[in-house]
Amino acid sequence: MPKRMPRYPIYIPSKGRSDRPLTARMFAEDGVPFRFVVEPNEVPAYEHEWRDHILVLPENNKGLVYSRNWIKEHAISEGHERHWQFDDDVWRMRRLHKGRRYPCSSRIAVVAAEDFVDRYENVGLCSFNSSFFAPATQGISLQKWPPFYLNSRCYTNFLMMNSLPYKWRYRYNEDTDMTLQVLAGGWCTILFNVFLMDTPETMEAHGGQMMSATGSYQGDGRLKMARELERVWPGVVETKRKFNRPQHRVKHDWKKFDTPLVRKKGVEDEPPNEYGMTLVPYRTKKGAPNA
């Protein structure tokens, strides 16, 4: 039986990371089709290794928001109902199972997420959570981390419904702003815990948006970024201190967004499906058991 492949196109907006394209290498290893979206002046750097995976933006140095909106329009032009956008620094996917996080195929994670979202009429946006926010536990059931959070912030990777009228906006916190646009419009968002992503810690990976954004984290940059989102969403976003630095916070921790999922007509509950996954021994390069 042939392997299930993603039904929606996967785009990777990338800048300055032709020498360390983590997400692309993950997908290539797992046999997942994808396309880089790069600026014209960076094509030579990327085409050496990824010639058959490149889409070229019309202009240089327009920023991530410009790339995200261009990607959405490209997916619409090809007639797709939804599309994926992955940041270029996702290096591994994991399956959360009984409190443990096991490396798994990114192909299976993407297919399972698509299957879940397509059972409902009103999921506008979904993402995989970071493994950083769902640490491994021992002796604790999976209920410690629910399979997904409903109506929470999406970030770093997105499966988006193309018919939504919303645009990506603002240079910083564009992911939170898009999530709030979707929720304020009466749609649902899904943040998956059952599958998790591994990425480098903030400020560790060179290239990407960090090339232009690093300076904005200096001095009172974080405060300005948080205040900007607070001005756009008054009464919804507030500026607090977290980890000893200013950071935006959605009031009531997103709990005010309570739109329920609406199952598509004729879609019944399905039996558990592990998509062919089985547990096998796995150890890190240092020989320690994986967490």
* Three-state SS sequence of the chain: CCCCCCCCCEEEECCCCCCCCHHHHHHHHHCCCCEEEECHHHHHHHHHHHHHHEEECCCCCCCHHHHHHHHHHHHHHCCCCEEEEECCCCCEEEEEECCEEEEECHHHHHHHHHHHHCCECCEEEEEEEEHHHCCCCCCCCHHHCCCEEECCCCCCEEEEECCCCCCCCCCCCHHHHHHHHHHHCCCEEEEEEEEEEECCCCCCCCCCCHHHHHHHHCCCHHHHHHHHHHHHCCCCEEEEEECCEEEEEEHHHHCCCCCCCCECCCCCCCCCCCCCCCCCCCECCCCCECC
Mean pLDDT of 196-205: 75
Residue 287 has pLDDT above 60, yes or no: no
Question: What's the CA gap between 159 and 85, in Å, rounded?
Answer: 7
Mean pLDDT of 25-50: 97
Percent of the chain with pLDDT over 90: 67
pLDDT of residue 7: 98
Name the burial class of residue 135, with classes exposed (0-12), middle (13-18) and buried (19+) by CB atoms within 10 angstroms of its CB.
exposed
Q: Which of 183, 182, 140 is nearest to 165 (CA)?
A: 182
pLDDT of residue 209: 46
Look up the pTM and report it.
0.89
Q: Which of 252, 236, 267 is nearest to 122 (CA)?
A: 267
**220 or 34, which is more confident?**
34
Mean pLDDT of 159-185: 96
CB 38 within 8 A of CB 14: yes
Distances (CA, A) of 240 to 50, 128, 211, 237, 248: 42, 25, 26, 10, 6
Residue 53 has pLDDT above 90, yes or no: yes
Backbone φ and ψ for 236, nearest 5 degrees, come out as -110, -45
pLDDT of residue 184: 97
Domains parsed from the chain with CATH numbers: 10-200+215-254 (3.90.550.10)
Q: What is the pLDDT of residues 203-261, one digit of tens each?
A: 455 555 434 444 444 446 677 888 889 999 998 988 876 666 767 789 888 999 999 99
pLDDT of residue 137: 73
Question: What's the CA gap between 152 and 137, in Å, rounded?
Answer: 22
Judging by DSSP bridges, how do beta strands 123-130 and 157-161 pair with one another? antiparallel
Question: What's the CA gap between 161 and 250, in Å, rounded?
Answer: 23
pLDDT of residue 139: 58
Q: What is the pLDDT of residues 267-281, one digit of tens each?
A: 988 888 899 999 888
Q: What is the pLDDT of residues 101-158, one digit of tens each?
A: 999 999 999 999 999 999 999 999 999 999 999 888 765 554 578 999 999 999 999 9
pLDDT of residue 138: 63
Mean pLDDT of 156-170: 97
